Chains A and B, each alone.
Chain A
Amino acid sequence: MGRKLLTEYVNVEGIETFAVYRKHGGYRSVEKALKMTPEEVVEEVKKSGLRGRGGAGFPTGLKWSFLAKPEGVPRYLVCNADESEPGTFKDRYLMSKLPHLLIEGMIAGSYALGARTSYIYIRGELLYVLRILEKAIAEAYAAGFLGENIQGSGYSLDLHVHPGAGAYICGEETALLESLEGKRGNPRNKPPFPAVQGLYARPTVVNNVESIASVVSILNMGGEEYAKIGVGKSTGTKLFSACGHLNKPGIYELELGVPVEEFIYSDEYCGGIWKGRELKAVVAGGSSVPILPKELILKTAAGEDRLMTYESLSDGGFITGTMLGSGGFIAMDETTSIVKNTWNFARFYHHESCGQCSPCREGTGWLEKVLHRLAHGHGSMHDIDLIVSVAKQIEGNTICPLGEAAAWPVAAAVRHFRDEFEWYVTHPQEATAPGAYYRGNLVLA
């Protein structure tokens, strides 16, 4: 069994209450942090090598050190709990099971950043999690870990939970800040970055739930010790939400570096592909990352074992690699229609585009419509090239990364499964018959 840092006590009865959480060592990191200077806390996080767990993988300590520190100006820590990428559901789990872990991380992080007011922006659909968090926050206030003069340290912090209305785009940090300010959730142009001009135009750090929760372990064990876990620049443990055609889908905490093959097939984790079928493809980090066929998800192009790390999964770039992303691990068995799956993903991004910039607003809809045609047996060979071209027109030309999130899955699906797309064109009736699926050989670009 791998080491558990985030979910060690997840099965303890009553762990969602302050009393039980405290009994199991809860809030020690806050006590420790309050005896350190804020700069020392930031330094510990830097030493840990923790990379953002929301998808981008940017070093958290470095992000914290970028925060502008003008005197007399409020600063904010905002927790991005707007998790909604298809395939990703680990933050929801963490918050509902261990609400105090997030609150503890928020207090330590806010102290490090000099924030006196912090926010947890939570996805509106997760109303039941909001209630859990609100209750836990009230307990933390009552225990003197929030509010005025926390534990007699002189440091004060107010923590608020704010529900969004349920828009994927509000998971983009600047759209989240707009929404938190009460405006339409449109991403902002960058620069200025939130570290300089964030919430209410003040210096702000936006971190994912899991990143903030990981700060607790980092402070408890020390940054250097934390950095010893994992492989290379992928330090620590990471939650993966495994779903799709797996025998044991669920949330798994892994020390970064577990081979992908072990993660899929070992009984300790996903237990192999359901119904004894063959694995066809995997989306390793949430629906926005490029899909990989079985041959490339298990081994890199150089023939090495693919590991559950940022570096190994992205080895080979987008030609033969993918991204660790948010850890939304979607496995697809041999009967999966890649064409229909790609259409489904495109449908999501079309629906969720905010519509602010032209390539994303018009391009995501265009992609979905052509994919709809293809998936229903009305496409042409020209359509296959067309979706690749449209994806290229979107990628890199939009205000925020939603453009890339919409373009990458389409481009990768055609790159790795072009023969299946062509089969839908050349055999429309067979391809769209109920229960039909493509058995041809995979053609790799």
Chain B
Amino acid sequence: MAKITFDGIEVEVPDGTTILNAARQIGGGIVPPAMCYYTPLKGSGGKCRACLVRVAAGSAKDPRPMPKLVASCITPVQDGMVVENTTSQQVLDVRKGIVEMLLINHPLDCPVCDQAGECDLQNFAFEHGVSTTRYEEERRTFEKIDIGPYVQLHMTRCILCYRCVYTANQLTDNRVHGVLGRGDASEIGTYIENSIDNDFSGNVIDVCPVGALTDKTWRFKQRVWFTKPVNAHRECSHEKCNGHVTLWYKGKDVLRVTARKDEYGEVKEWICNECRFEKKETADWVIEGPAHIDRSSVIAQNHYELPVINPQVIADLPESTVRELEQNPPLKLGGLSGTSF
């Protein structure tokens, strides 16, 4: 076991645990964001640099600080390590920079993007970025790419996290897509269109942190926050699928089926294409009850802060108006500074 201090909080974790997972054991708002790391995918992480943290002391044996910020998702803890995340201004500044970099070529088409409301980048930008950009150059654009019967690729939105590549590599027998090109000309591609058609291909949609890979059977049918997620299961005949899913209802209709995710938006159990794309009737499923939605979606209540009214202004308002405002968001009372999104 190794004892580390993360943002002043001590936690003891098994040897070999990464800094990020140690922070997840503490939980809450101090956990570094992760855009490319994905626990079920072996080898993922280290690419987006969103989770960089400062190691103020390497270990009890060697308490020197590490010279550069380290990717917390791939760096194992050492006994006596002292890590700074939210307590380091350097980390917070770098994180703003990473948001700015990721948004260079990511379109702000949230109003039409199916991932809006479930988008990790949207959350990351909201929680760690700034509301402006200094980027004035032309942004890259792509035609939409048809990569298979069930999956639509919007390369414009891709942030090259490699999650879908790892998914295909680790879940299927023959990966047919990967990263082509180099630098900011890199792109996810199949080389030959319409070639992603294996039994587990739908999982690339679940791991995609943005709206680059979308479900053809669901896209444009409804905004996610107007749907009701319900946990359900069925006896699936596929040997690698146990049929545990979340059904997304609008009224009585099942609009979408996804794998179940944990509080960090990571898939708990992979599901096959039959469960995901072909079982859209309530009768196909044994309903378990409402699904719990945690921090990774705007449909989670109170996830996003509402604009705040300056207390000075509140003091000057009639009591009835204040009451009315309290009862009718979008205005929230009391804080000292305002945030808008």
> Inside 8 A of B182's CB, which chain A residues have their CB?
167, 169, 351-355
Of A184, A356, A358, A386, the most chain B CB neighbours within 10 A belong to A358
Residue among A354, A356, A362 having the largest count of chain B Cβ atoms under 10 Å: A362
Q: How far is the CB of A57 from chain B (nearest CB, A)?
A: 16
Contact of B69 with A by CB under 8 A: yes
Min C-beta distance of A415 to chain B, whole Å: 20
Cross-chain contact A184 with B179 (CB below 8 angstroms): yes
The listed residue (A167, A352, A358) touching B48 by CB distance below 8 A is: A358
Which residue on chain A has the smallest CB distance to residue B96? A393
Q: Closest residue to A362 on the B side, CB-wise?
A: B101
Rounded to whole Å, the gap between the CB of B268 and the closest CB of chain A is 25
Report if A370-B137 is in contact (Cβ < 8 Å); known contacts: A350-B183, A362-B105. Answer: yes
- A366→B140 CA distance, assembly (Å): 12
| Residue from A355, A386, A393, A398 in contact with B184 in the complex, judged by beta carbons closer than 8 Å | A355
- The verdict on A5 contacting chain B, using a C-beta distance below 8 Å, is no
The 9 closest A-B pairs by CB, nearest first: A355-B186, A393-B97, A353-B183, A189-B46, A362-B101, A365-B184, A369-B137, A355-B183, A396-B68
Q: Is the interface of A mostly helix, strand, loop or mixed?
A: helix
Which residues of B does A touch, CB under 8 Å? 35, 45-50, 52, 68-69, 71, 74, 94, 97-98, 100-102, 104-105, 134-135, 137, 159-160, 162, 178-179, 181-186
B98/A365 in contact, CB under 8 A: no
Query: What separation, in Å, do the CA atoms of A402 and B224 have in the docked complex?
Result: 40
Which of A167, A189, A386, A398 lies in contact with B74, CB distance below 8 A?
A189
Taking a contact as CB atoms under 8 Å apart, the answer to whether A362 and B47 are in contact is no
A363 surroundings in chain B (CB, below 8 A): 101
Residue contact B98 to A361, C-beta cutoff 8 Å: no
- The yes or no answer to A397 lying at the interface (CB within 8 A) is yes
What are some 7 contacts across the A-B interface (CB < 8 A)?
A189-B46, A350-B183, A353-B182, A365-B184, A397-B49, A397-B68, A399-B46
Given contacts A355-B160, A355-B183, 20 further A-B contacts (CB under 8 A): A189-B71, A353-B182, A354-B182, A355-B185, A356-B47, A357-B46, A358-B49, A358-B50, A358-B102, A358-B160, A359-B97, A361-B101, A362-B102, A366-B101, A366-B104, A386-B134, A393-B97, A393-B100, A397-B49, A397-B98
Q: A189-B46, A189-B74, A399-B47 are in contact. Are A361 and B179 (CB under 8 A)?
A: no
Residues of B within 8 A of A353 (CB): 182-184
A397 B186 Cβ-Cβ under 8 A: no
Q: Knowing A189-B45, A399-B46 touch, does A184 contact B178 (C-beta < 8 A)?
A: yes
Chain A, 354-396, CB within 8 A of any chain B CB: 354-366, 369-370, 386, 389, 393, 396
Is B69 a contact of A355 with CB atoms below 8 Å? no
Neighbouring A residues of B102 by C-beta, 8 Å: 358, 362
Inter-subunit contact A350/B184 (CB<8 Å)? yes
Bound CA–CA A354/B162 (angstroms): 13
CB distance from A66 to the nearest CB of B (A): 16
Asked if A358 and B47 sit within 8 Å, CB to CB, the answer is yes
- Of all chain B residues, the one with the shortest Cβ separation from A354 is B182
Tell me which residues across on chain A come within 8 A of B105, comparing CB atoms.
362
Chain B contacts for A396, CB-based, 8 A:
68-69
Judging by beta carbons under 8 Å apart, are A393 and B94 in contact? yes
Contacts of A169 in B (CB 8 A): 182
Given A355-B182, A364-B184, are A397 and B137 neighbors across the interface (CB < 8 Å)?
Answer: no
From the candidates B49, B159, B178, name the one contacting A359 in the complex (CB within 8 A).
B49
Which of chain A's residues have a CB closer than 8 A to the CB of B68?
A: 396-397
Q: For A356, what are the chain B residues with a Cβ–Cβ distance below 8 Å? A: 47, 160, 162
Report if A355-B178 is in contact (Cβ < 8 Å); known contacts: A386-B134, A393-B100, A399-B47: no
Task: Report A-chain residues with C-beta under 8 Å of the C-beta of B159.
Answer: 358
Q: How far is the CA of A355 from the CA of B98 in the complex (A)?
A: 14
Whole-angstrom CA separation of A369 from B71 in the bound complex: 28
Q: Which of B104, B134, B179 contacts A362 (CB 8 A)?
A: B104
CB-based contact B49/A398 at 8 Å: yes
How far, in Å, is A201 (CB) from chain B's closest CB?
12
Q: How far is the CB of B296 from chain A (nearest CB, A)?
A: 20
Q: Give the docked Cα–Cα distance between A355 and B47 (Å).
A: 9
**Closest Cβ–Cβ distance, residue B338 to chain A (whole Å):** 26
A window 226-266: CB within 8 A of B: none
In the complex, the answer to whether A357 meets B184 with C-beta atoms within 8 Å is: no
Residues of A within 8 A of B104 (CB): 362, 365-366
Q: Which B residues touch A354, using CB under 8 A?
A: 182-183, 186
- The chain A residue sitting closest to B48, CB to CB, is A358
Question: A122 CB to closest chain B CB, in angstroms?
Answer: 20
